[in-house]
Chains A and B, each alone.
Chain A
């Protein structure tokens, strides 16, 4: 198996606090890696380091063998790494079609096109429609995003990352805060991600973690605490003690 994403001795300090503590992580192509850990374990900080929102204090990050440690976030996206956010980061005034259109335009290298009118290019429109359909957004595609139900916003959050056609996708708690009756679409969307896309999933929902992941990494106090296949993690007494009856056996 080829390593797609690799973090070497990654460290991030905020003053005296160590948010990411010497993390080494290798992710293979097509892997479904779940990153779990108690609140404040540094999961989102790690994602922010990997995607370039934060710069590491020390350590290196490689994407498909290329050192991306110093690259700006948008460059990492262009190299094939996309993410979703734990708290929706959407464009409130735009509609889902426009939002997805933005990402598709960027992906197809049309983002700096300042003279062509939107919606005139067939392949582009086709790709937008495909994503709208795939993420069940057709019924709300003309509404302003800020007015969408929370579950639909969550779907749009994922659709927007997929629109970048990533080879590595980082999902930061995709189902967080979604009411029970709207969860199904999100779980289905996560399950339907293309097999060749490498996925790193941060999630608190153990059902989702164990149904989705083929490997689980546990982060505690910023450091990698355990790393292995789900069965091994589920029976790991140290992990159990950290989670203290959070229902790890799923």
Chain B
């Protein structure tokens, strides 16, 4: 065997994990927004949280092919856990994030057994059911959660004892963005690992996955739990930055929103949730200012158009720009490619 082949095999495998120039552009732009758009930090915080929540769904939908219409269950659970923790015990936000995330992982693990079996349709019903049950629990346990009035009286302490949340949302945004970036790096690493590759195989053909020795169920349980943890952290971020948690965190609308976000941004390449979140929030904001009563009509229309035209075709429109950036990047980094869409 020639020596070239192993090198080229290892190159091809390593290439999946290589940072593309566009990724640097994306994160530099995110960093720049902290300094250049100080008066937009409130909505940017919401975008960052929505992006993290959508990233969480992308992990199971885009990688393992598991559809969920009840992902808000973990979002809401993380929010309430973080909110209650801050209200009664520890007001430090980072501890709250960790506890909220871990709690959501446990909930994700326990409920993952329900989504293992069955088709997409059963998964949609089961996930929806789980979020409805949690919402009702939060509603009934009013002595703890405040019920329909929501969890009030949360006072957050300064982050790590150093940075106090401010009314203009500067600290909130920096905090949310840093958490989003850290969890993104983690997700990026995981999906490029052998475990991540095996998730793609489950999405593609679970029958064959098991025929090469992959324990399909445990892989699904693992990624479902991790994704639930991501959603829990996103929920905790929301509760902390708004000092409030309410029953609508569990709502069907919220689960549907992130599915729409992923439809807009695309699944299976991690950036879809973030790009989708930016477009979705800005569109929502813009339309709500334009026609406060009818913005839902317009957002519905846009979504129908997106599905009809197809994201691939819209992606093709931006191809020249992306290719140009990639070519420019080639001078700085050896061997690059266009980030894979769906």
Contacts and interface: CB of A to CB of B under 8 A. Distances in A.
B14 A89 contact: no
A163 B212 contact: yes
Interface stretch (A24-32, A78-86, A208-216): A78-86
Given A110-B194, A117-B17, A126 B200 contact: no
A247 interface: no
B12 interface: yes
A115 B193 contact: yes
A77 B17 contact: no
Interface string B6-30: 1011111110110000000000000
B134 interface: no
B216 A74 contact: yes
Nearest to B17: A117
Given A77-B211, A98-B13, A102-B212, A93 B197 contact: no
Interface stretch (B84-92, B168-176, B202-210, B306-314): B202-210
Interface stretch (A56-64, A130-138, A192-200, A229-237): A130-138
Contacts of B332: none
B: contact size bracket = 35 or more
Contacts of B198: 102, 105-106, 111
B197 A98 contact: yes
A91 B204 contact: yes
A179 B214 CA distance: 32
B155 to A, nearest CB: 37
Contacts of A92: 204-205
A97 B12 contact: yes
Contacts of B211: 51, 53, 73-74, 77, 82-83, 85, 89, 161
Given A51-B211, A82-B212, A91-B204, A114 B195 contact: yes
**Of B195, B212, B214, which is in contact with the most chain A CB atoms at under 10 Å from its CB?**
B212
B141 interface: no
Contacts of A241: none
B5 interface: yes
Given A112-B195, A114-B190, A119 B12 contact: yes
B231 to A, nearest CB: 19
A118 B207 contact: no
A54 to B, nearest CB: 12
Assign chain A's interface to a size class: 35 or more
B323 interface: no
Interface SS majority for chain B: helix
Given A111-B214, A129-B6, A97 B194 contact: no
Nearest to B268: A93
A120 B12 CA distance: 11
Interface string B101-128: 0000000000000000000000000000
A68 to B, nearest CB: 14
B200 A93 contact: yes
A132 B16 contact: no
A110 B1 CA distance: 25
Interface string B204-236: 110111111111100100100000000000000
A44 B13 CA distance: 34
B207 A105 contact: no
Contacts of A120: 10, 14
Contacts of B5: 129, 132-133, 138
Contacts of A78: 213
Most chain B C-beta atoms within 10 Å of own C-beta, residue among A77, A93, A126, A141: A93
B324 to A, nearest CB: 23
B212 A125 contact: no
Contacts of A106: 198, 212-214
A95 interface: yes
Contacts of A94: 197, 200-201, 204
Contacts of B200: 91, 93-94
Interface of B: 1, 5-6, 8-14, 16-17, 189-190, 192-198, 200-201, 204-205, 207-216, 219, 222
Given A85-B208, A113-B193, 20 more contacts: A53-B211, A74-B211, A78-B213, A89-B207, A89-B211, A90-B204, A99-B201, A101-B13, A102-B197, A106-B198, A111-B198, A112-B194, A113-B194, A114-B193, A117-B193, A118-B17, A118-B194, A120-B10, A128-B13, A129-B6
22 contacts: A72-B210, A74-B211, A89-B207, A89-B208, A91-B201, A91-B205, A94-B200, A101-B13, A101-B194, A106-B212, A111-B194, A114-B194, A117-B14, A117-B189, A118-B13, A119-B10, A119-B14, A125-B10, A125-B13, A128-B9, A128-B13, A161-B212
The 4 tightest CB contacts between A and B, nearest first, are A119-B13, A77-B213, A114-B195, A91-B204
